Structure 1
Amino acid sequence: MSPHRALAAVFAAHGAVAGSLFTRIPWIQDSLDLSPGALGLALLCPPIGAFVGMPTASRLAYRFGSRAATRVLLALWCAGLAFPALAPSPAWLFVVFLLFGAAAGMSDVVMNAHAVVLERHLGRSIMSGLHGMWSVGSLAAGGLGALAASADIDARVHLGAVSIALLALGAAAGHGLLPDHAGIPGSGAPEHKPADTPQAPPRHFALPTRGILGIGLVGFCATFAEGASSNWSAVYLTEVADAGPGMAAAGYTVFMLCMAGMRLTGDRLIRRVGPVAAVRTGGIVAAAGGIVVVAARTPALAMAGFALIGLGLAVIVPLVFTTAGNVGATPGEGVAGVATITYLSGMIAPAVTGWLADTLGYPAAFALITGVIVLLPLLAPALRRPSPDARAPLAPKDHEEPVDRCLHA
């Protein structure tokens, strides 16, 4: 298995954990007899755990190497899938979700940092496709979870079996990841870096630096619009476009499928036009989709608007991770810096959207969200490629066997 394919499998496994858990939240709620308010508090714990854990991940990647850190943290994330359904009380569920979120965020940081290193080795963009594989894993696992729920399979059995399967997939993929001694500056542990590329250890708690904040603002806007659309598209279709339950659920599915499909093919666009033009184009497409959503009063038109938002936003967050990984002191520190910003945005977007909708109405709320999207073309220059230096992409050496074949070759 080539390093590119192996890392794609890692992203798919990470997404499958999230997709599996989300489908069994109702079972967990019924099992523990949680009120909506208690469930809401419980669901705040994973992003809080991730927010706290992510700034420490770059130090682990530096100390042990991004390959080893990715393998271990992915294993913890996959193993953690089995535990929420086993929680004996709400208090234990809060603790489990906090640890679960920490494993999610830390593994997210190190695997994206490893992707930055692999991009340098290959000398071409691959991040969008990897995030597309995350979406594929999440959608596939979500579909399997829906079938398990409809068949009334106990969530402890379902999530335990999926956890074991994903642990096996992650272990197999981990063996194929790019070694830390592949000769790429900043790829892993300090003992592997070349003598002519001195590199200071990352901070123990890598909050965003001033250089990362501009890049993070792009990620904040994109993630805010994505979180608002994914969490509220079904409700919007129901309340504004008068859609039935099936059509409303289909609106969310269309949004996610458009985002996943664009991410799987987005690297070609990025290679052709560059990151700044890709963000500008995507922002314009997403803003057009927002305008359609605000104006829509029929299900078909609203679904078309959400589809455009998904298509437009798809490649922006992957580009944010790539750019941050290339300008940070190490890939892990740069990715951790923007990840804390994007996770914060993802945490507040659903709540802020709900408050705006309750105060101003759904169309006005999405008009303001469209205003956030309009900022993306203006902020796009923050993702301009850094000037060539020790962190510039490197092609495989002539005497080495090619590291990768295209995922669909």
Structure 2
Amino acid sequence: MTLDDPTRRRAHRAVVVAFLAHGVVSGSWFVRIPDLRDLAGLSDGGLGLVLAALGIGAVVSMPLAGALATRHGSAPAMRWLLPPLLAVLALAAQASAPLTLALGSLAFGAALGAHDIAINAHGVAVEHERGRPVLSGMHAAFSIGTLLGAGVGALAMAADVAPRVHLLAIAAVTALALLAYRHLLPAAVDRHRTAVRAVPPTLGERLAPLRRRWLLACAIAAMASFIAENAVGEWSGVLLRDHRDASPALAAIGFLAFSLAMTVGRLTGDRMVAALGDRRTLLLGGALAGTAWALVALVDDAGVAIAAWVVAGLALANAVPIVFRAAGARRPVGPDGRPAPVPAQALAAVSGLGYAGGLLGPSLIGAVAELLDLPTAMLIPALLAASIALLARSATGGERLPSTAARSRPAANASPTPTA
């Protein structure tokens, strides 16, 4: 299918709005986690279990969202999945007991993970159509949305606005993003009906792309990055408030500073990747992020922790866009010389494992915090962030991906070769 430039540009703007909305929802939820914990009367270990429920929901929904995007196209999937996400955000905020909060987190994780798969699949499709790196810019919109969500949340906390009122208002306002969804790419651009069977695939078949070494490396790198990112969103406020003697207002600054740094890193990320290449960007980012997280764990000072999260945000900003681009790139042959999987299926497998670890990781941090203490548990994201540097070559195949290289327009419009 050949599309004109105005259609590509409108779709690009629309998917940027989608990433922005996704970030607003995520940031709004994360910044209210300490309050939701207190309302439910949970310890750090109990909060870890609730966060595990969020991860389980995402693990279950992501392969289903990948199949939905493959069969019907990522644009229809986005339109179908945003309303349930906003409804669950508003309903989960009503929880005031451990069980209801766990169930709300389970549903929220499922809705968040499914919508995430759809917008990333469409982002990869738009990048392919544009013929140049734009995925980091889309993830920058997510970071801006996260920053906006966290900022509004901090103001709501300062004004003593209850989480249920705050998150209901966020859901209502974010629903306006559906207006932009009218301008997404046509469904036929990344729809592969022949690649989807009438009988739903088993879990093993859904994860089959991960038997490929380069896709497994992408998944592990994504998992490490998500754990490090989510640890800031879900534990920074608790760490600063309970272990670094920070006020509630200062405790909210940690996540805000990290989100701002990620925004800056992603706004400049496409140019950085074009200059350094995917592998060097991952290598340097992983090394810097691991060092920063080690400072968070080992230095008993709120200012040092916030500054370290700024460094970590800049360093990790482009890790996920790079590995998602690697997984979802349209090409007939992968770096290992074998036929590449259908992009949406490969992306669903990689992001599914990545998000599974990323969303379950904070619960592991909670368990370690219960056994030892939370500062010691912060060494987990430090080690995982550093591992991204070790995975850089395998994840990118040791070379810049086709989507980041200069390409002619005919190549950008070439159709992928589906695999069964």
1:220-299 pair list within 5 angstroms: 220-234=223-237, 236-237=239-240, 246-293=249-296, 296-299=299-302
Which of 193, 200, 203 aligns to 2:195? It is 200
| TM-superposed deviation, 1:352 | 3.1
Contact kept? 2:325, 2:403, Cα under 8 Å: no
Q: CA RMSD in A?
A: 3.6
Residue 154 (structure 1) shift: 5.6
Distance 1:42 1:181, change over 3 A: same
Alignment of structure 1 residues 90-109 onto 2, 5 Å: 94-109=102-117
CA contact (8 A) 2:70 2:345 kept: no
* Aligned mates of 2:107, 2:407 — CA distance in 1: 37
Q: Is the 8 A contact 2:277 2:400 kept in 1?
A: no
User: In structure 1, what is the Cα distance between the partners aligned to 2:96 and 2:383?
Assistant: 44
Q: What per-residue deviation string (whole Å, max 9, x for no partner) do you get for residues 332-383 of structure 1?
A: 2112112222222223333333444565666654456433333222210122
Aligned partner of residue 195 in structure 2, secondary structure? coil
Change (3 A) 1:159 1:387: closer
TM-score, reference length from structure 2: 0.78
Instruction: Provide the TM-score with structure 1 as the length reference.
Output: 0.80
Q: What pairs up with 1:137-156 in 2 under 5 angstroms?
A: 137-153=145-161, 155-156=163-164
Task: Tell me if 1:34 matches 2:46.
Answer: no
Single out whichever of 55-64 and 149-158 deviates more from structure 2. Answer: 149-158
Partner Cα distance (2:64, 2:109) in 1: 13
Q: Give per-residue Cα distances to partners, 1:188-241, cap 9 Å, x unaligned.
A: 244xxxxxxxx6337635225212222111122222333334444455556776
Any conservation in 2 of the 1:291–1:370 contact (CA below 8 Å)? yes
- Between 1:3-12 and 1:233-242, the stretch displaced more is 233-242
The alignment partner of 1:81 has SS state of helix
Q: Distance in 1 between matches of 2:379 and 2:48?
A: 26
Partner residue of 1:9 out of 14, 17, 37: 17
Ranges in structure 2 where 5+ consecutive residues have no aligned partner: 1-8, 335-339, 414-420
Q: CA deviation at 1:269?
A: 0.7
Partner of 2:135: 127
Which piece of structure 1 moves more, 269-278 or 350-359? 350-359
Question: 1:112 is matched with which residue?
Answer: 120
Matches within 5 A, 1:58-97: 58-85=66-93, 94-97=102-105
User: How much has 1:303 moved relative to structure 2?
Assistant: 2.9
Q: Go from structure 1 to structure 2 and tell me whether the alpha carbon gap of 1:369 and 1:28 turns closer, same or farther (over 3 Å shift).
A: closer
SS in 1 for 2:187: coil
Structure 1 gaps, min length 5: 191-198, 401-409
Q: 1:389 to 1:276 in 2, by over 3 A?
A: closer
Partner residue, 2:354: 342
1:41 is displaced (CA, Å) by 4.7
Q: Which residue of 1 aligns with 2:386?
A: 374
Contact kept, 8 Å, 2:222 with 2:320, in 1: the verdict is yes
1:218 aligns with 2:221: yes
CA distance in 2, matches of 1:15, 1:271: 25
1: CA distance between counterparts of 2:152 and 2:303?
Answer: 27
Maintained 8 Å contact 1:121/1:395:
no
Deviation at 1:47, TM superposition (A): 2.1
State the match for 1:176 in structure 2: 183
Name the aligned partner's letter for residue 5 of structure 1.
Answer: R
Amino acid at match of 2:41: S
Structure 2: how far apart are the matches of 1:162 and 1:72? 19
Judged with a 3 Å threshold, the aligned counterparts in structure 2 of structure 1 residues 226 and 389 are, in CA distance, closer, same or farther, namely closer
1:201 aligned partner, one-letter code = V
1:319 is matched with which residue?
Answer: 322
Aligned length: 384
Counterpart CA distance in 2 for 1:175 and 1:231 is 33
Instruction: Quickly say closer, same or farther: Cα 1:395–1:58, change in 2 above 3 A.
Output: farther
Q: Give the alignment of 1:348-387 within 5 angstroms.
A: 348-356=360-368, 365-367=377-379, 369-384=381-396
Deviation at 1:276, TM superposition (A): 0.7
Conserved? CA contact 2:40–2:101, under 8 Å: no
Relative to structure 1, is the Cα distance of residues 217 and 44 closer, same or farther in structure 2, using a 3 angstrom cutoff?
closer
Closer, same or farther in 2 for the Cα pair 1:115/1:162, shift >3 Å?
A: same
- Going from structure 1 to structure 2, the CA distance change for 1:85 and 1:247 (only over 3 Å counts) comes to closer
Q: Which deviates the most, 207-216 or 111-120?
A: 207-216
State how far apart, in whole Å, the 1-side matches of 2:405 and 2:67 are.
22
